[in-house]
Chain A
Amino acid sequence: MDGNKLAKTITKAGILLIENGAEIVRVEDTMQRIAKAYGAKVADAYATPTLLIISISMPESTALYHNIKRVHMKNVNLSKIDEVNTLSRSITNSNLSLDELDKKLDEIALEKNYPTYIIILGAAICVFGFSFFFKGNLIDAIFALIIGIIVKFILELLAKIELSSFFNNAIGGAIISFLAMIFAKYFGSNQDILFISSIMLLVPGLAITNAIRDTVSGDIVSGIARATEAIFVAVAIAVGSGITLALLGGII
């Protein structure tokens, strides 16, 4: 078994998991599981949201094989996490060769997300549900749905030009509070409900969850990194909507 190749394939799996929003315990477990499945003697994996390290040794030699990778977090895609997880568990049962595993990981990496219009539809459904959850009526829900569609559409456009995520969220917050003010003023809807239900599209729910989860399971570095991410997303939303509210509060 080629240790270098194994190390490379393991990092590939780890990167896929981190990029798509898996928690650190799962990433490290999966990397070690793959290493053990191919007979590595020592297998140490270390993962943070931005860095990935694997160190393995094979039974036939005394050499250690390492691979270090810089990771960039991307969109959340839970289905890829699911697939990598299932794949790593099936190695021992199905006698998957290393080459096949490598190929399958590449296939998973290339899988497309849902098309943009479905994502926007998802955002619309989501905001529609939220406005009822926050005790709004049907009119609020319909306006929230319109806001949801517009905001998600603009966010998808912004993601294409690779603006930093801080400004993405700030612009999202600004648009939401602007539209919520307009709809509340001229169409008699409830501004608070409109704002709260559409802001849920931006709220860093996953980052908060993963931050606390990582910290509790002992991955303190990742916990702090993700908490910082969550705080700054929240700050960005507050900056965007705060500026809009302060600026237009006197006019509209």
Chain B
Amino acid sequence: MLSCISAGIASLGFAIIFNVPKNKLLGASLCGAIGGLVYDIGLTLNYSQSFSLFIASVALAITSEILARIIKCPSTIFSICALIPLVPGGGMYYTMLAIINNDINEALLTGIDTIVQACAIVIGVILVSSIFHSYKKIEQLRKGNL
């Protein structure tokens, strides 16, 4: 619950930094909160960190696509701000720390882990946005055929 609220707050902050229009700030915050919530649920269900990040980003992407349909604006406005709390900043820090301490094995381990996590997040979002895009195309095709 705490990570849900805190991810929401963090996304709100990033939405301000990225100049999201005032009436859409709360939407970005909501997407971030859902991302944080699902990530936490994934971790308590003992999923691996990368997989938790993946389902979290799928959840926040679905929310942002739905919000984008309702408010009529690009979904990236919400999804980008909401993604940032999930970006593995901690992994980057520990990788760097290991490099400074000349511990190359540790650096490689955490570094690759970090890259996998970053990819998991983005692939989740892209998956959802491609599905929504294809769905729109299918709808158009169906209307064209009728």
Contact = CB atoms under 8 A, between A and B. Distances in A.
A161 interface: no
Nearest to A203: B89
Given A119-B16, A196-B93, A205 B83 contact: yes
Interface stretch (A44-52, A55-63, A73-81, A164-172): A73-81
Interface of B is mostly: helix
A133 B85 contact: yes
Interface residues of B, number: 48
A119 B70 CA distance: 27
B36 interface: yes
Contacts of B80: 78, 205-206, 209
B90 interface: yes
A208 B121 CA distance: 10
Interface string A131-169: 111100000000000000000000000000000000000
* Interface-central residue, B5, B24, B80, by most chain A CB under 10 Å: B80
Interface stretch (A6-14, A32-40, A233-241): A233-241
Interface in A185-234: 192, 195-197, 199-201, 203, 205-206, 208-209, 212-213, 216, 234
Interface of B: 2-3, 5-21, 24, 36, 72-74, 76-77, 80-81, 83-85, 87, 89-90, 92-93, 95-97, 99-100, 118-119, 121-123, 125-126
Given A126-B12, A203-B92, 11 more contacts: A78-B20, A78-B76, A122-B13, A123-B17, A124-B13, A129-B85, A199-B89, A199-B93, A203-B87, A203-B89, A212-B126
